[in-house]
Structure 1
């Protein structure tokens, strides 16, 4: 979905042609997986960081076109709303000093972007949900002027029979409203990890990413407030699921298969079954017919880009044009600091490596893994979760006692630099031991300054600029 498209309206004939090509490419994908024609390269990683532009009053600043022109960097691009932007890093082999290199690249890009924002009189904010955003600004007057966003809005509303989106979230407080477009999605900004893995191990890594999702969303939670209400530790999760709510065909449209979801099950035989599920259960939203060879999987990739599993399988290409498989881990919010985000990535890499290599030791029934994920999103480190022994315990305790040692073992198996392992897992340990994650820091601030979300964001940005991890931020 990162690509621009040439139109916003489509004919019935285009839907039919696209469907035919999608079926052909799904069959080809399955055959190529069976024949081992995908890349064995990996692990290789990269990131996407979504951020906000805010003005001096701490309100969203709809200036991404001006900002991107001032920055003039191909690694930055517009997001759905005019006050959001996205930054990307180059692919990096996950070994040796990879974590330091990734931090250095991200820090360099962020410093360059901050300077460009300063020239415009605005600030950059890496935070899951901007605490000052008002529902009134989330409308089509603030949509980025790109065909793909307008077409996506139109097609999701058409799939819903043009019924308004119903937002309903119960957490510490309750929020309910109705919205006429997909711009609620613009309130959710994330730090997305891409992990390319050898095709023959892709199933195990994908399932490992599902298992890792609960601890990651719990320890990284940074989105407690929406429209002045205190909701989940990571309110981004229910907000995004409801902001693009359009299900599958006919009776499945209101069933368990959602376009934004934790998924329907583990991958059993391989990732081909996920693309088959895409074909069988999700209507086409953007039937952009491409004049490319089936081996480029253009239609398969575009259709997959309109289905937002929290762990999404992706198809890419190595420099020699060999197709490869990636896992896009989407559960982590943006922020609070750059070091926090690299620490979250380190935890993800370590856990998925250990879980993929030792699945029998960490296996949970899929409903349990899914329940753990939503409990962690709702309650953060205080979430009651079920471990592989069937015992219920608090997520923070499980992290300290079992998951951090497992992540450390995984990072050592990847032969990552010892100093980086100590540094970044130490950040996770600091959060788990103190209980001070991003959402908790925000809640404590508002407890002392009730209702002052502008002051909250100002203080947050001051600490973000220091580069210190959130568990060291004073109040």
Structure 2
């Protein structure tokens, strides 16, 4: 999701005065948010979950179908929206309090929305697919003619290219080496994700944010579903380097190659307050989309739009409760979309439980891991998946699959129990993650096994993947 769904802008080009005015409003709203946080005006409501899924529209030959405008117009569903490319759509779920039978409810809601969307796509003679990167995608299909017809995307493309002043270079070394140049922001459309949101009480928001950072390594590995890009076998989760390089813009003073990138793992934990992330946004990242809003500062419209153009893998957001009280939520962006609805709900249960456990321990002065180590763990996990070796608490180095099996599943279970999740749901959904570890089969493992058996047959891979996805069985049990 480039910007919050529905936050369209009116202009696609701006003047210098627009940037100056926007920055003044942004600075004032950042200061106001600081006062809200200091005075504890933001919500202390119990944790709430929500999802976003990015999906592909495909022709029967498994090639991208740039038909999202027709699909969305005729589907006319409040939980569906456009994405950057005309062959991508976004599906959302209503927020649910994380307690009791929350995951069963989230599962039912998401499955129902997906069934409706899939049925509608088939009525249009296209296919709906959720996967991290599309194996059949070719670079030439990522062109401006295939950009969704929305001002925010045209403006974003113009501003990012202006900030870089040179072509985008994609250079990824994995099992194979991919090196290509591209001349617009459409490369970003090659990555599709399952984005997890957790609204959290203000008093623990920075602990939840830090816990999500620590949890990113196991999450990106256990959810891996994107080994292939443009016919090359790259990382277990190729979305990570792909997205970072596709929008390779830095902060002020032309710092494209500097330490603060607009797509990144972040620069540090939040030490004392989640406000630190929004202050960093103001101080270090130039305004890209200076759309102006006439509403009051308490709506934080400029702050939210600016934040929507900075893509940390764990991104704090400002939203509003039903009664208008501002709240903080954390958007976790590391999981790939798919392979099935069942797999994604299991991924969500693992994430929410693990983050609850880690945030509680962080608040108690435990679960101590340096930011630089959490960052290194993340990129190792994105590259090598469950086979990566990470440094964990107590400076212990171990294979990630072993860590998940021996410790992290137990932590996730404890976290879900403390949230009051039904015991049967904990067993069912964490059991799916446990089976994935036991069988050593994520979506990426399965895709690589197919190509090992049928070299170069990316159309066949995508077709069989789609068939397995429609059957709904968890990926740990997929055969070839």
- 1:254 aligns to what SS in structure 2? coil
Matched, 1:188 2:191: yes
The C-alpha deviation readout for 1:343-396, integer Å capped at 9, x for no partner, is: 000010011000011124322110000000000000010011111021111100
CA contact (8 A) 2:53 2:91 kept: yes
CA distance in 2: counterparts of 1:363 and 1:442, whole angstroms: 36
Matched, 1:290 2:293: yes
Select 1:88's aligned residue among 83, 86, 92: 92
Aligned position for 2:400: 395
CA distance in 2: counterparts of 1:177 and 1:42, whole angstroms: 46
What does residue range 351-390 of structure 1 map to in structure 2 within 5 Å?
Answer: 351-359=354-362, 360-390=365-395
Bigger mean CA offset, 305-314 vs 360-369:
360-369
- 2:199 aligns to what SS in structure 1? strand
Select 1:422's aligned residue among 394, 402, 427: 427
Aligned position for 2:328: 325
Select 1:281's aligned residue among 275, 281, 284: 284
Aligned position for 1:453: 458
Bigger mean CA offset, 104-113 vs 361-370:
361-370
The C-alpha deviation readout for 1:47-83, integer Å capped at 9, x for no partner, is: 0000000111000000101111221101100100000
CA distance in 1: counterparts of 2:288 and 2:368, whole angstroms: 35
- 1:280 aligns to what SS in structure 2? helix
- 2:456 aligns to what SS in structure 1? coil
The C-alpha deviation readout for 1:299-356, integer Å capped at 9, x for no partner, is: 1110000000000000000111000000000000000011100000001001100001
Name stretches of at least 5 consecutive residues in structure 2 with no aligned partner: none
The C-alpha deviation readout for 1:383-440, integer Å capped at 9, x for no partner, is: 1111102111110000000000000000000000111101110010011111101100
CA distance in 2: counterparts of 1:253 and 1:200, whole angstroms: 34
Name stretches of at least 5 consecutive residues in structure 1 with no aligned partner: none
Select 1:52's aligned residue among 52, 56, 61: 56
Aligned position for 1:120: 124
Matched, 1:224 2:227: yes
CA distance in 2: counterparts of 1:334 and 1:251, whole angstroms: 33
CA distance in 1: counterparts of 2:409 and 2:281, whole angstroms: 34
- The alpha carbon displacement at 1:32 in A equals 1.0
CA distance in 1: counterparts of 2:174 and 2:116, whole angstroms: 38
CA distance in 2: counterparts of 1:253 and 1:56, whole angstroms: 40
| Alignment coverage as a number of residue pairs | 474
The C-alpha deviation readout for 1:183-221, integer Å capped at 9, x for no partner, is: 010010000011000001101000000011000000100
What does residue range 241-252 of structure 1 map to in structure 2 within 5 Å?
Answer: 241-250=244-253, 252=255
CA contact (8 A) 1:361 1:388 kept: no
Aligned position for 2:107: 103
Q: What root-mean-square deviation, in Å, do the aligned CA atoms of Structure 1 and Structure 2 show?
A: 0.7
The C-alpha deviation readout for 1:227-262, integer Å capped at 9, x for no partner, is: 000000000000000111110001533211000000
Select 1:129's aligned residue among 129, 133, 145: 133
CA contact (8 A) 2:36 2:42 kept: yes
- 1:389 aligns to what SS in structure 2? helix
Aligned position for 2:47: 43
CA contact (8 A) 2:248 2:256 kept: no
Aligned position for 2:410: 405
Aligned position for 1:10: 14
Aligned position for 2:180: 177
CA distance in 1: counterparts of 2:162 and 2:183, whole angstroms: 12
- The alpha carbon displacement at 1:19 in A equals 0.6
- 2:175 aligns to what SS in structure 1? coil
CA contact (8 A) 2:84 2:148 kept: yes
Aligned position for 2:158: 154
TM-score by length of 1: 0.99
Aligned position for 1:465: 470
Matched, 1:73 2:77: yes
CA distance in 1: counterparts of 2:125 and 2:72, whole angstroms: 14
CA distance in 1: counterparts of 2:72 and 2:368, whole angstroms: 44
Select 2:68's aligned residue among 54, 61, 64: 64
CA distance in 2: counterparts of 1:394 and 1:193, whole angstroms: 25
Aligned position for 1:256: 259
CA distance in 1: counterparts of 2:437 and 2:416, whole angstroms: 19
Matched, 1:240 2:243: yes
